[in-house]
Structure 1
């Protein structure tokens, strides 16, 4: 009651609208009814397309939205090339940011990298020369292993030959000395001296041959170890070369990454449109320091979505893929087609502005929808919550704009070409367990109708009509429509509103 007093003007306006709508509805429903002098109304059983729906209002938004940003931050905005309402193509320059400091930093980084590359190249060249020399030394040393063994063998054999010759000369001198009969003669003395000399030479040659053989045997026994030592020495140089390459490569890589990062930041100072469309927001001005926020918003106005809020009473009836009938002020009576695209699983929040429910016996949802049964979801009481539903527009129109209001009927069920009668024509039996209609079978002398009670089952219900099934009724039959309860007049409603405290 407190709310009504605080909003009495709104209540009166709503009451007036309700009465006008009631009058329209009565005129529509009465179009298929007949009335006799007894004030009994009849209606014709007709085939219609009936629809159950949830009605709501929504707002047109772009189906695709691009938020233009840049990864380059902390720089001044030098130019903004677009305004709200401009149409742009992908690749168009939206804004230009200051790149002067970044350019200086890039030049310094490139100079530093050049110095590093020069030093690195010298280091690499030196390591390469050392490795090449190590390879040559290894090859020479490996070749010398067997050469030295062969030389040692040859020297051993030569020493053996010398020793054998010394033995032969020694034996010949001994024989000559023994052949001299006069042991006191000078000839014997000289021959004996020769024997002693040759004996000493023979012993020397023996020792030399033995030494040469030992050298040969040592080289042969050490051959594998020598080869391994030569190869290990070379491998050490290979490892040194590889370590040098790795360390110098990493140094240049770090500086190159710095250069690449600076170049990306410089590229980011020329901010371009990532898609074609309509500029709907520009959030920076020349002279601003850019901090990474959205520079501009580009909406694709070639395709639209519609967002609406559905209250918690109806949200469980809404599912992705459902058909939606759409009307707008811009397109007049034309019905546009849509499809439920997304149903938020999370409540948006409390709704406000209670226009739901009924006023003076009128379901305000009926304002929205032809022959469809609907609940009107523009809002509910302040304790209710709503859920955002996104609808894809399937019917393009150049009359539509972002932000326009859409009147929506989300189709829950639709039956085409079904037998139907006015909602009030279907009555409940005394037990409340079944339904029936009174079929007109003729006219009495007093002008009243002869009727027959026909048991029926109800199918889909709209605001005005009910589908009849399993009834035996046929198209064209006449049925009685009992008079509905009398509605309050406009004057009564105004008087009631005035009693709340006046306008």
Structure 2
């Protein structure tokens, strides 16, 4: 029984051992396969060095080193010469404001000259005032004479005009009377003509009646004679009456002719009066015009004389110019600051005789510019109003903003001297000078410090950018990058933008943050298997 049981246990243990061995073999094989797969992936990943794709600000910039100068420097001087320095009110390091007194010169000699010039000017002004008063009287007299004579001349012209108008009226009356006389004469001439005709007819009738009477007398017929005699007597009476009428008409005509001649003589006389009155009127008008012209000239001449006297009085005479000059010199004996800042040089002392030159230098210690020299390779990329970032050793990592305010068009060796030629940079040579105004200067800045300047040529913000080496050209000639996706490289076509010395802006609808961008290495890797192009990659 025991033997039987023992054999059975051995069989069970043997089967269990075989099963366990198989399990171990399966596990080992599985682990070996996983290890191999992991080893393969590791090799694939290690074959590519990548950098994550991120959005960032891309800036194209130029780095320079320059010297801090004062934004404004004033050389204090005076136009006076040969004056002694009486007082020096400042020393190097003093802070002054615009209008502060810096120096005083000895003004005693100038004050004496000014007093003498003022006296000379007072005498000159008194003489001018007397001359002006005299000329004002002459001008007033000329105006009075003009007004009086103008009134008289106008009165004479008016009287002559009245006489002329009366003469014209009289002539018109005489001409009217003459025309009436002419009309009466002509009417009477017609009456005389009719009277002559009547007298001729009456004479004819008388002659005929006389003939009839003679014939009746020859016939001896008493009755015929009596009738013919009566007819003859009537005709003779009629003739006598006609002759009287003709005589009367002729007398009247003669009288009218005499009256007409008288009227014509009156018209001629009236015409002579009109001509005389017209001449008198013309003469009065001419006399008035001559008087007005003469008086107007007298008034204008006296006015010109008065104006000249006034101008001469108000003009800067030599005495007046002397007073003004000495007053200006007296004012210049007190030398004041034209701007605020710190005194950096003082070149005069009490007792010195000043003959032009710089007395002191004031520099603005609150506003600064950086003066830098740029070589010919970069100067064409720098323009006025370009923005800048400025650092100094004394301000550490603090960045100050700046703006390019001057770019020299010629090298320093060719540039002419200017008001800023005494800047502390002392730069020279073939470089081009530029100046950057510091927009927000630190209180720690001092004139003459060295400044590091970064000029911002171009800038884009929040864009995808990769190292320049990550961008290649695909088969179609387009720009592309390689990304590692599931252990395999994949090409993405991109559009490039701003390019700097290290980064290039890229854009594409396929780009997403976090992508692993492959960074190529120019070193070939012949020992990498499974790759058509033996190119290694390095970590950026």
TM-score (norm 2): 0.55
1:391-436 deviations in whole A, cap 9, x for unaligned?
Answer: 222223211122222111111111222222334333467x995554
Structure-to-structure mapping, 1:278-293, within 5 angstroms:
278-293=342-357
Which deviates more from structure 2 when the two are superposed, residues 71-80 or residues 403-412? 71-80
Shift of 1:350: 8.4
CA distance in 2, matches of 1:48, 1:64: 39
Question: Do 2:136 and 2:306's aligned partners in 1 also have CA atoms closer than 8 Å?
Answer: no
In the other structure, the counterpart of 1:243 is 305
Which deviates more from structure 2 when the two are superposed, residues 37-46 or residues 262-271? 37-46
**Partner residue of 2:383 out of 292, 295, 319:** 319
Partner of 1:67: helix, strand, or coil?
A: strand
In the other structure, the counterpart of 1:4 is none
**Partner residue of 2:65 out of 52, 57, 69:** 57
CA distance in 1, matches of 2:131, 2:116: 23
In the other structure, the counterpart of 1:465 is 503
CA distance in 2, matches of 1:234, 1:51: 85
**Partner residue of 2:124 out of 110, 116, 120:** 116
**Partner residue of 1:421 out of 466, 471, 476:** 466
In the other structure, the counterpart of 2:97 is 89
Shift of 1:221: 9.4
Question: Do 1:427 and 1:437's aligned partners in 2 also have CA atoms closer than 8 Å?
Answer: yes
In the other structure, the counterpart of 1:297 is 361
Partner of 1:239: helix, strand, or coil?
A: helix
1:68-87 deviations in whole A, cap 9, x for unaligned?
Answer: 33333342332221122211
CA distance in 2, matches of 1:327, 1:272: 35
CA distance in 2, matches of 1:347, 1:259: 49
Unaligned runs of at least 5 residues, structure 1? 1-33, 150-217, 352-377, 444-449, 486-503
Which deviates more from structure 2 when the two are superposed, residues 41-50 or residues 327-336? 41-50
Shift of 1:457: 4.3
How many equivalent residue pairs?
Answer: 352
Structure-to-structure mapping, 1:126-205, within 5 angstroms:
126-129=134-137
Structure-to-structure mapping, 1:70-89, within 5 angstroms:
70-89=78-97
Task: State whether structure 2 residue 513 is matched by structure 1 residue 475.
Answer: yes
Partner of 2:126: helix, strand, or coil?
A: helix
**Partner residue of 2:325 out of 261, 279, 282:** 261
The 1:247–1:145 alpha-carbon spacing in structure 2 relative to 1, beyond 3 Å, is: closer
**Partner residue of 1:339 out of 403, 406, 420:** 403
CA distance in 2, matches of 1:88, 1:117: 43
Shift of 1:230: 6.9
Question: Do 2:128 and 2:309's aligned partners in 1 also have CA atoms closer than 8 Å?
Answer: no
Shift of 1:244: 6.0
Task: State whether structure 2 residue 399 is matched by structure 1 residue 399.
Answer: no
In the other structure, the counterpart of 1:387 is 432
Question: Do 1:324 and 1:337's aligned partners in 2 also have CA atoms closer than 8 Å?
Answer: yes
Partner of 1:120: helix, strand, or coil?
A: helix
Question: Do 1:350 and 1:386's aligned partners in 2 also have CA atoms closer than 8 Å?
Answer: no
1:265-290 deviations in whole A, cap 9, x for unaligned?
Answer: 21111111122222233343334443
In the other structure, the counterpart of 1:440 is 484
The 1:415–1:143 alpha-carbon spacing in structure 2 relative to 1, beyond 3 Å, is: closer
**Partner residue of 2:374 out of 299, 307, 310:** 310
The 1:397–1:228 alpha-carbon spacing in structure 2 relative to 1, beyond 3 Å, is: same
In the other structure, the counterpart of 1:409 is 454
The 1:407–1:294 alpha-carbon spacing in structure 2 relative to 1, beyond 3 Å, is: same
In the other structure, the counterpart of 1:44 is 52
CA distance in 2, matches of 1:90, 1:334: 31
Tell me which protein shows more strand as a share of its residues.
Answer: 1
CA distance in 2, matches of 1:419, 1:144: 105
Shift of 1:451: 2.7
Bigger-Rg structure (1/2): 2
CA distance in 2, matches of 1:234, 1:131: 11
Partner of 2:510: helix, strand, or coil?
A: coil
Partner of 1:250: helix, strand, or coil?
A: helix
In the other structure, the counterpart of 1:99 is 107
Task: State whether structure 2 residue 495 is matched by structure 1 residue 451.
Answer: no
Partner of 2:456: helix, strand, or coil?
A: strand
In the other structure, the counterpart of 1:67 is 75
CA distance in 2, matches of 1:469, 1:148: 107
Question: Do 1:35 and 1:42's aligned partners in 2 also have CA atoms closer than 8 Å?
Answer: no
The 1:107–1:407 alpha-carbon spacing in structure 2 relative to 1, beyond 3 Å, is: same
Question: Do 1:457 and 1:471's aligned partners in 2 also have CA atoms closer than 8 Å?
Answer: no
Shift of 1:324: 0.9
CA distance in 1, matches of 2:336, 2:46: 78
